[in-house]
């Protein structure tokens, strides 16, 4: 995601802009730039490709650019390759701006988002005599503002509003007009934008970290609203150009909030911490190339006494259970039943000698799961708890406890706790299989080695997330999505669908791919997004055939595969994501990462509260 900063006041702007961009580096970018005005002079635009450090060095950390009003930007390429010409800020004139002096231009701007009808608008502007120096949709947007501003001889707000009516897509926009020194104008649709008020100075940013050191007083501009930002005043307007009032908010960080570590949201931070969470959980259970469960009481005798397993959980933890069902049953001859805790506690479920109950909960306080645990214990069957919180109620009451090492998880939508639970359950399944004689020692060592590589592969996926950032902007206006797969892939569809619906509020459903023709396919229509998870080689072709059936009915297809078994690249899918190759029982740990990112960026593009989705709590401690 791109980053925007803006400043107007009495201080030199360049250094403040660069510092703000530094705070936004976590968003990912391929180029950076700033535009600074010194009074009535034309703006000086400086842009570089690559890391922000190049811009800092080029401007001598802002010291060689004079002016008290400016805007800055870090760009991640969407329209046009990473280059200086395509970097922001963009201007309404014909010179891209390289830092060799002021730029002759009536409008200078930066923009986050994607303008979907930019080609149509560009053609219109070219017919009016405009020429273009870049491949970007942002240059089109800036020149469209300039066109309305000059053609109709109207003020900046009216020109921006006319542009908002014509432009389709998402945007957070910050502009400076040559005729209006010491003013910044802003507008928003779907992409985040905040305005900060200081003492004789004002700020603009795409997220709080960029301006937090300067002010805690902020305004959250809403869709189709615009603003005029001056050092001593901030004025807001609706789409009709009428002045409106917005409430001032105060940023109040508690000790947990201060630990975001520069990430935009806890969820994004926690997605990036999954490699560490999985690595730490693995290390807590494996030593000297052997899995040790005896320390939590799971001795050979206990494992030998298991003839049936009930996995009981809620939400994402239940999805871990579904994945574990496939893994345990593929490695042993032990039947596994996965139950929702809220159903298990009220059903008359036979629990006989040899039944072994596993409850999974991040907090260890989940009310339904705790009640299910107590029901199992009343029936006299042993209970293993997989939890993340030492000393929690579930941990205290279970017979055996496997602790995941995810650390504190603040975002409501679980990510790293989920991945740590998958690792714990995979290692449990491997040890159960080996201790019961279902796999050889050679296979046992192979699985442990494969599991040890997962953290590195997770981190590899996270380093290559740019395509997901881009594609999420293409689906953020969806109203319905479907996730389909078979076997282990279906279990990941469940989690991917839940992530999408809980933080983006897009209606989303997961289906076993073979069930589509039993009713669900009637919901597929033009533009419906269908995500096909296809990491299991034995059923890949069957799931792909189901996807093609959806495409024939107008669906847009996303394919999630392993690098070892990609689908054919002949244009049949609209977007393909591949995860590193691994043994197939571990591929769910990798395949879930792109689905988490896709959900996260979609939610951000929709301007939602990612960490605190509506109506949800982190830990459901009441029924």
pLDDT surpasses 50 at 617: no
> Which pLDDT belongs to residue 343?
93
pLDDT surpasses 80 at 207: no
Instruction: Point out the catalytic residue in the list 2, 69, 314, 493.
Output: 2
102-119: pLDDT as tens digits: 566 789 999 988 898 999
What tokens does 580 get?
């590193």
pLDDT band with cut points at 50, 70 and 90 for residue 259: low
pLDDT surpasses 50 at 255: no
Question: Measured between alpha carbons, how far is 458 from 303 in angstroms, rounded to an integer?
Answer: 30
pLDDT band with cut points at 50, 70 and 90 for residue 354: very high
Check if 2 is active-site: yes
First to last CA, the chain: 38
554-589: pLDDT as tens digits: 889 999 999 988 887 677 888 899 999 999 999 999
Question: Measured between alpha carbons, how far is 538 from 486 in angstroms, rounded to an integer?
Answer: 10
CA 303, 306, 308, 314 dihedral sign is: negative
> Which pLDDT belongs to residue 26?
46
> Which pLDDT belongs to residue 619?
46
> Which pLDDT belongs to residue 252?
61
pLDDT surpasses 80 at 280: yes
Residue ranges and CATH numbers for the domains of the chain are 3-252 (3.60.20.10), 256-452 (3.40.50.10490), 463-623 (3.40.50.10490)
Question: Measured between alpha carbons, how far is 140 from 550 in angstroms, rounded to an integer?
Answer: 35
Instruction: Point out the catalytic residue in the list 11, 124, 501, 618.
Output: 618
pLDDT band with cut points at 50, 70 and 90 for residue 522: confident
pLDDT surpasses 60 at 299: yes
Question: Measured between alpha carbons, how far is 237 from 156 in angstroms, rounded to an integer?
Answer: 11
Q: Count the Cβ atoms, other than its own, within 10 Å of residue 340.
A: 17
> Which pLDDT belongs to residue 190?
67
Task: Please state the length of the chain.
Answer: 623
Question: Measured between alpha carbons, how far is 219 from 203 in angstroms, rounded to an integer?
Answer: 10
18-60: pLDDT as tens digits: 999 987 764 557 899 999 999 988 899 999 998 889 999 999 9
pLDDT band with cut points at 50, 70 and 90 for residue 611: confident
Residue in 436, 200, 422, 411 with CA at minimum distance from that of residue 301: 436
SS3 207: coil
Specify the higher pLDDT residue, 458 or 411: 458
Check if 269 is active-site: no
SS3 340: strand
> Which pLDDT belongs to residue 25?
66
Q: Over range 207-216, report the average pLDDT.
A: 82
530-540: pLDDT as tens digits: 999 999 989 98
Instruction: Give the relative orientation of helices 416-435 and 315-331 as an angle to the nearest 10 degrees.
Output: 20
């Amino acid at each position: 995601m791109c980053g925007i900063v803006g400043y107007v006041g009495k201080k030199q702007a360049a250094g403040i802009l660069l510092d703000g961009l530094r705070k936004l580096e976590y968003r990912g970018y391929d180029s950076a730039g700033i535009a600074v005005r010194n009074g009535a002079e034309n703006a000086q635009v400086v842009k570089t490709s690559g890391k922000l450090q190049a811009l800092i060095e080029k401007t001598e950390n802002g010291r060689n650019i004079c002016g008290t009003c400016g805007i800055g930007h870090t760009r991640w390429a969407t329209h046009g390759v990473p280059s200086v010409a395509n970097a922001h800020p963009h201007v309404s004139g014909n010179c891209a701006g390289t830092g060799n002096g002021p730029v002759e231009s009536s409008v200078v701007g930066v923009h986050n988002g994607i303008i979907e009808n930019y080609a149509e608008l560009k053609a219109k502007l070219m017919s009016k005599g405009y020429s273009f120096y870049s491949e970007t949709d942002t240059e089109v947007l800036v020149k469209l503002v300039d066109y309305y501003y000059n053609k109709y001889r109207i003020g900046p707000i009216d020109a921006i509003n006319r542009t908002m009516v014509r432009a389709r897509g998402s945007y957070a926009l910050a502009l400076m007009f040559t005729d209006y020194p010491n003013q910044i104008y802003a507008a928003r649709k779907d992409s985040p934008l905040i305005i900060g008020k200081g003492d004789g100075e004002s700020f603009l940013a795409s997220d709080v970290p960029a301006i937090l050191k300067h002010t805690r007083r902020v305004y959250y501009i809403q869709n189709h609203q615009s603003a005029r930002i001056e050092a001593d005043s901030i004025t807001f307007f609706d789409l009709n150009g009428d002045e409106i009032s917005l409430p001032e908010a105060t940023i109040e960080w508690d000790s947990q909030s201060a630990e975001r570590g520069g990430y935009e949201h806890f969820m994004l931070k926690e997605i990036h911490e999954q490699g560490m969470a999985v690595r730490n959980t693995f290390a807590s259970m494996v030593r000297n190339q052997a899995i040790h469960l005896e320390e939590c009481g799971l001795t050979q005798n206990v494992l030998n006494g298991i003839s049936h397993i009930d996995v009981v959980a809620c939400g994402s933890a239940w999805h871990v259970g579904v994945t574990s069902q496939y893994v345990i049953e593929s490695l042993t001859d032990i039947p596994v039943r996965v139950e929702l805790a809220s159903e298990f506690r009220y059903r008359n479920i036979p629990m006989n000698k040899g039944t072994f109950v596993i409850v999974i909960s991040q907090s260890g306080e989940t009310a339904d799961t705790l009640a299910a645990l107590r029901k199992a214990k009343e029936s006299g069957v042993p209970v293993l708890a997989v939890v993340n919180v030492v000393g929690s109620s579930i941990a205290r009451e279970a017979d055996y406890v496997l602790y995941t090492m995810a650390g504190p998880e603040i975002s409501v939508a679980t990510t790293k706790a989920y991945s740590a639970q998958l690792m714990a359950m995979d290692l449990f399944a491997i040890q159960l299989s080996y201790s019961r004689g279902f796999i050889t020692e050679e296979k046992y060592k192979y699985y442990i080695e494969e599991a040890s590589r997962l953290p590195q592969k997770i981190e590899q996926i996270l380093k290559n997330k740019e395509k997901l950032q881009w594609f999420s902007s293409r689906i953020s206006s969806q109203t319905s999505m479907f996730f389909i797969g078979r076997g282990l892939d279906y279990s990941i569809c469940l989690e991917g669908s839940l992530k999408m619906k809980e933080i983006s509020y897009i209606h989303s459903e997961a289906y076993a791919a073979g069930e589509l023709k039993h009713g669900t396919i009637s919901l597929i229509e033009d533009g419906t997004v269908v995500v096909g998870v296809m990491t299991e080689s034995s059923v890949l072709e069957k799931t792909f055939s189901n996807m093609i059936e959806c495409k024939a009915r107008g669906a847009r297809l996303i394919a999630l595969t392993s690098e070892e078994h990609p689908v054919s690249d002949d244009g049949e899918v609209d977007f393909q994501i591949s995860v590193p190759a691994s043994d197939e029982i571990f591929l769910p740990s990798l395949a879930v990462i792109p689905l988490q990112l896709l959900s996260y960026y979609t939610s951000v593009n929709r301007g939602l509260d990612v960490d605190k989705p509506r109506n949800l709590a982190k830990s459901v401690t009441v029924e």
